[in-house]
Amino acid sequence: MSWILILTLAAIVFFNRYVFLEPNVPLKIPGIINKALKYSAPCLLTAICGPIILMDHGVVREFPMNPYFLGAVVSVIIALLIRNIVSAVLLSLGVFYLINHFMG
């Protein structure tokens, strides 16, 4: 049963990606939907990172001593200043681990 479910889900994912990525398929997304899809990645990242940064086991973390919040703020500042994804991620990870080590 689980193999059938896995193969069915794999076929659905493949079909969805094939339809939108194959250039020979005459499917055009309307402009309003294409514009709205540009916001999907930031919304998804916010939905994933928000609870990690703000909560700890279902309880809101303290803000003055929250290393995750401070690390997120520093990461945003680093990303705005550096404008290089790999360097910003590596530097942000290093700063977060230092903050977490000294505050945790």
Domain segments of the chain as ranges: 56-104
Residue 104 makes CB contacts below 8 A (sequence gap 6+) with: 67
Q: Map the chain to HEC letters.
A: CHHHHHHHHHHHHHHHHHHHHCCCCCCCCCHHHHHHHCCHHHHHHHHHHHHHHHEECCEECCCCCCHHHHHHHHHHHHHHHHCCHHHHHHHHHHHHHHHHHHHC
The answer to pTM > 0.85 is no
Query: Digits of tens for pLDDT over the chain (104 positions)?
Result: 799 999 999 999 999 888 878 888 887 888 999 899 899 999 999 999 999 999 998 899 988 889 999 999 999 999 999 999 999 999 999 999 999 999 87
